[in-house]
Chains A and B, each alone.
Chain A
Amino acid sequence: MVALVVLAALATASVTMGSKPLSAHTVGEALFRFDPSDTEHLVIRSLRLPRTVVGLLAGAALGLAGAVMQGIARNALADPGVLGVNSGAALFVVAGINFFGVTSLSGYVWFGMAGAAVAAAVVYAVGSMGASGATPLKLVLAGTATTAVLTSATQAVLLLNVSAFDQFRFWQVGSLAGRDEAVAWQGAPFVLAGAVLALSLGRSLNLLALGDDTARALGQHVVRVRLAAALAVVLLCGTATAMAGPIGFVGLAVPHVARMLTGADHRWLLPYSMVLAPVLVLLADLVGRLVIRPTEVQVGIVTAAIGAPVLIAMVRSRKGAAL
C-alpha cells in the first residue's frame, strides 16, 4: 500500500517537475481541459505524460521479469542483463538499425522482442543441456557466455558503421526522453499480457523454490512452468527494452529489495517487485532530469548509479547473507 502511494506521488512529480517546473493545477487542467494553444499543456500532454507512462510500464515490466527470472533460476544473480536477454534485444535492434534502416521506436519494439526471445531460448537450451538439467549456476554461466557473444557481435556491427553507432549509443543507455504516446500504446498490451502471465506463476514459483524433484512430487509440471515463465520474461523484457532501451539493474536489484519486505513468498514478491520497480525508474528519471538542468542524464545511467550501491550495501548486510 505504502509503495503504491509513493508510486502515485512520484508519477505526479514526474509530470510536474522538469527543466520547467509546472503547478499541479496546470497539470490537472492539461489532463481534463486540454487547450492545444497553451505551451504548458502541450509540454505535459506530449512530453511529460508519455514519458511517465513509459517509465511506469518499462519499470513494472523489468521488475517483474527480474523477479520471475530469479525464481526460475533459483539464483539471486539472475536478471535480464545477466541472463543475456538484454544483449539479445540490443543486438537485434542494432541489426535493425544497420541492415533494415529502422529509425523509429515502434520498429525497435519488434526487433527487441525477437532478440530477447532468441537469446532466452539459447540460454535456456544451453543451460539445461547435460546431466543435471538447468542448474542455477549453469544458467548464469550460459547467460554470461551468450551475453559475451552477442555483445561482441553488436560491437562488430557498431565498429563497421559509424552512423548506426551514433544512434545506438543513445539508445543503449536507456532513456525515457522523447517517447511519444504511440510508444506507450504499442507497448502496453505486451506488458499487460506478460504481467498477467507472470503474476499467475506465483504459487508455481514457490514450489519450484523447493527444488525440481520436490515440485514434481507435489504435482507441478516443472518444464511447463519454466516455459510459461520464459514467455513472460521475453514479453516483458523485450517490450521494456524496446520502449526505453536496456535500463540496467532494475530487474536485478528490485526483487532483492522486495524480498527484504515480503520474504520469499512469490505470491507477494511478484506484485511488490512490479510496484517497486517503476518507483526506482521514475525516481531515477527525475533525478536525471533535475541534476544537470536543462540537459539530462539518461535514466539507465541513474538506475545503475542508484542501484549498484544499494545492491552492494545489501550484499554486505546481515540479511544479504541469506540471499
Chain B
Amino acid sequence: MTVRTRSVRGAVRRRRARPVVVVLALAVLLTAVTLLAVGDFVVPLSEVIGAISGEAEWKSRLFVLDIRLPRVLTGLLAGLGFGMSGAIFQSLVRNPLASPDVIGITSGAGAAAATCIVALGLGGMAVSAGALAGALVTAVAIYLLSWRGGLSGRRLVLVGIGATALLSSLVSYLMTSAAVWDAQQVLIWLTGSLSGRTWTHATTLACCLVPLVLAAAVLARPLNVLCLGDDLARGLGLRVERSRLALLLTGVALAATATAAAGPVAFVALVSAPVARRLVRDGGPALAASALVGALVTLVSDFVAQHAFTPVELPVGVVTGVVGGPYLLVLLVTANRAGTSASRRGSRLLR
C-alpha cells in the first residue's frame, strides 16, 4: 500500500516505504508460522504447510488448524488494527500521545467488558460485543467533550485522560465488589489476552477489520495532505473537516474492533507508529508499516507470553507492556533530528 503524492518527496517515499513494508510483512509471516509450529506438541514446518492444505495427519491438523491458527490470526489482525489506529490518531492530532490507549477509547472497552463479566455474568463473544459498544460510545463522548469550535490535540488528550480516570475507577469498583475469580477474569481481559480464541473470534474480527483497513487505505492520501497543516490542505483542495471526521471514525473503529477481539493489549497502538516512522523515515504517517509493526509486536509478544514462563502462560499484554515500554524509552532517548522537531511541536501542544 503505497501513497502517490505528486512531489519529489513522494518519489523518495515510495522507494523507501516499499522495501520496509515487504520486509515487515515477511517478518510477520515468519513469526506466524513459527507460532503455528511451536508448543507442547511440536509440528515440523513441512507439516504446518501440510496441515493448512489438509494433507497432514489428524493430530497436526488439530493443533495447527483448530487450536493455533485462530489464535495467531486473532493476534495478527488485532495487532494490525492497533498499529494502524495508533498511526491514524498520532498523525491526525499531531501528537505522539494521542493513541487510542492514552485517550481513553480502550478504557471504555475495558469498563464495558468488566461490567459484562462482573455485573452481568457474561463470557466469550458477549464480552467482546460489549467492549466494542463501550469503545464506540466512549469515543463519541470524548470527541463531543473535546470539541469547542475545532479539535485541539491537547484538549483531546486531557479530556481522554479524564475519561480514562473515570472509567478505570468504575473498573476498580467492579473489581472490589466482585468475587476473586471474576476479578481475576477481568484482570486477564484488561491485560489483553489471546488465550482460548476460536475460529468464531478470528472470522468475526476479519469481517470487521478488512473493510476498515480498506477505508484507511483510501484515506491515506488525505491524511498525508492533512499532515501539511489545515491551510495548505485546504489550498490543495481537500475537504479538511470531512476528511478528518472520516479518519477519526476509521481510527476509532479499528481500535474498538481490535480491543473487542483481544482486550486492550498494552502499548501496541502507542508504540507501533513511532517505530514504523523511524523505519520508513519519510515524515509521513506510514500506515501500512505501522499496521505491520503492530501485528509483529503482538505475535512476538504472544510467543514470549506463551512459552517463556512455562508452565505458566501469561496474557500477551503483560509482555507488550514490559517490552514495549523500554522500546519507547529508547526511542525517546535516541530521538533523531526529525524526532526532536516533532517533539517540540508536541510540547507546544501539551504545554
- Partner-B contacts on A (CB < 8 A): 74-77, 82, 126-127, 129-132, 135-138, 140-142, 144-146, 148-149, 151-153, 155-156, 158-160, 162, 165-166, 169-170, 172-173, 248-249, 252, 297-298, 300-305, 307-309, 311-312, 315-316, 320, 323
Contact = CB atoms under 8 A, between A and B. Distances in A.
Contacts of B161: 77, 82, 252, 311
A6 B263 CA distance: 44
A159 B321 contact: no
Given A170-B176, A307-B165, A315-B158, A141 B318 contact: no
Contacts of A130: 332-335, 340
A159 B159 contact: no
B166 A151 contact: no
A129 B333 contact: yes
A159 B328 contact: no
5 contacts: A131-B340, A155-B317, A298-B172, A301-B170, A311-B158
Where chain A touches its partner, the secondary structure class is helix
B183 interface: yes
Interface in B148-207: 148, 155, 157-159, 161-163, 165-166, 168-170, 172-173, 175-176, 180, 183-184, 187-188, 191
Interface of B: 96-97, 102, 145-146, 148, 155, 157-159, 161-163, 165-166, 168-170, 172-173, 175-176, 180, 183-184, 187-188, 191, 266-267, 270, 312, 314-315, 317-322, 324-326, 328-329, 332-335, 340, 343-344, 346-347, 350-351
A306 to B, nearest CB: 10
A312 B169 contact: no
A159 B325 contact: no
A77 B159 CA distance: 11
Contacts of B350: 75-77, 136-137, 140
Nearest to A323: B158
**Which among B161, B187, B267 has the greatest number of chain A C-beta atoms within 10 A?**
B161
A148 B267 contact: yes
A148 B347 contact: no
Contacts of A172: 172, 175
Contacts of B332: 126-127, 129-130, 138, 141-142, 145
A252 B157 CA distance: 14
A301 B169 contact: yes
A210 to B, nearest CB: 13
A160 B312 contact: yes
Contacts of A145: 324-326, 328-329, 332
A159 B318 contact: yes
Given A148-B267, A315-B159, 5 more contacts: A75-B350, A76-B350, A137-B343, A312-B162, A316-B145
B267 A300 contact: no
Given A136-B347, A298-B176, A149 B321 contact: yes
Given A75-B350, A141-B97, A312-B163, A148 B318 contact: no
